[in-house]
Structure 1
Amino acid sequence: MQSTSSHLPDLEGRAEIEQLVNAFYDRVRGDDVLGFIFSEVAHTDWAAHLPKMYAFWEQVIFRTGGYTGNPLAVHARLVPLTAMGRPQFDRWLQIFQSTVDSLFSGPNADHIKNCAADMAQVIHRRINPDADHSAHPVGLTPEQRARYAAAGQS
């Protein structure tokens, strides 16, 4: 997915990652589809969660975040407690990509959106093994769609 606002800065380091993560989770907390999952199901401790997410995304983009953890296991634990299907992952990705687009533009901004789309697809598939995976999350590039189609044929 390509950014459309060239007047915005690109993600350059930890400060921008923190800005993105904070803005993203502000939107998530108020979202009708996702907010309750964090507040009422996962009972998210934001003081602990946000620094983990800073480290996670810094690791993804810059390989410097020092993140340790297992995002797949965290999401899998929620499956028996609430819906964790395609609508939830599509909404997560939509909010993430629109948050990036509202704050940043450039190669790193595009890269983080593509990484988020890949992660949404992988985590959804892993925690929903019996789901119909013919539909892709919103915002996948043609290259990503081709990769997933090829992977499904092997």
Structure 2
Amino acid sequence: MTAEDPVKKPDLQGRPEIVKLVNTFYDRVRADAVLGHIFDQVAQTNWETHLPKMYAFWETVMFRSGGFTGNPLAAHAKLVALTDMGRDKFDHWLKLFCGTVDDLFVGEHADHIKNCAADMANVIFSRINQVPDPRFDPANLTPEQRERYARYKSQPQPATP
């Protein structure tokens, strides 16, 4: 293929692509100046057990077939007392994750996993720091969403017994 005709990247299709994504992403995390120490020194991540959990987690998120069990919220919450778990850390994590997806994959599933990652980053950040989820701030609504919400609020609400 020529420079004008690059090789088309695949989309995420199943476990093999999830393994590639997770391994590449966490190699980048471990080398990252912002996040690496949180995983290696603060959380003292056991990579032999963590990576298979992440394969199962993302496979479950994407394809409902990974068999993940666990509590990601609790795992992150215990770090709040040990290190800064501020918005900037979650934004950086998301940028690194989405960049890894974009480097390796393209397509509907690639877009979906990035959206899922953004949702998880927002939920985990909000819950562990006990702040409102920024996605639900009325100031962030589009004009269409504001109009729809105004119509909903103006409808008569059913009486409660």
**TM-score bucket of the superposed structures, by smaller chain:** 0.7 to 0.9
- Does the Cα contact within 8 Å between 1:9 and 1:104 map onto a contact in 2? yes
2:87 match: 86
Q: TM-score, normalised by structure 1?
A: 0.82
Corresponding residue for residue 105 of structure 1: 106
Shift of 1:81: 0.1
Equivalent pair of 2:30/2:40 in contact (CA under 8 Å):
yes
Counterparts in 2 of 1:41-80, with a 5 A limit?
Answer: 41-80=42-81
Query: For the aligned residues, what is the CA RMSD?
Result: 2.3
Shift of 1:117: 0.2
Runs of 4+ in 1 over 2 A off after TM superposition: none
Q: Is the 8 A contact 1:41 1:82 kept in 2?
A: yes
Supply the distance in 2 between the matched residues of 1:24 and 1:6 (Cα, whole angstroms): 21
Query: Quick one: which amino acid aligns to residue 75 of structure 1?
Result: H
Q: Whose Rg is larger?
A: 2
Using the size of structure 2 for normalisation, the TM-score is 0.79
Higher RCO (C-alpha 8 Å, min separation 6): 1
Q: Shift in Å at residue 146 of structure 1?
A: 4.2
Q: Which amino acid aligns with 2:120?
A: M
Of all paired residues, the percent bearing the same amino acid is 62
Looking at structure 2, the residues matched to 43 and 55 of structure 1 have their Cα atoms a distance apart, in angstroms, of 20
Distance 1:146 1:79, change over 3 A: same
Distance, in Å, in 1 between the alignment partners of 2:39 and 2:94 is 15
**Structure 1 91/126 Cα, relative in aligned 2: closer, same or farther at 3 Å?**
same
Please state if 1:33 is matched with 2:34. yes
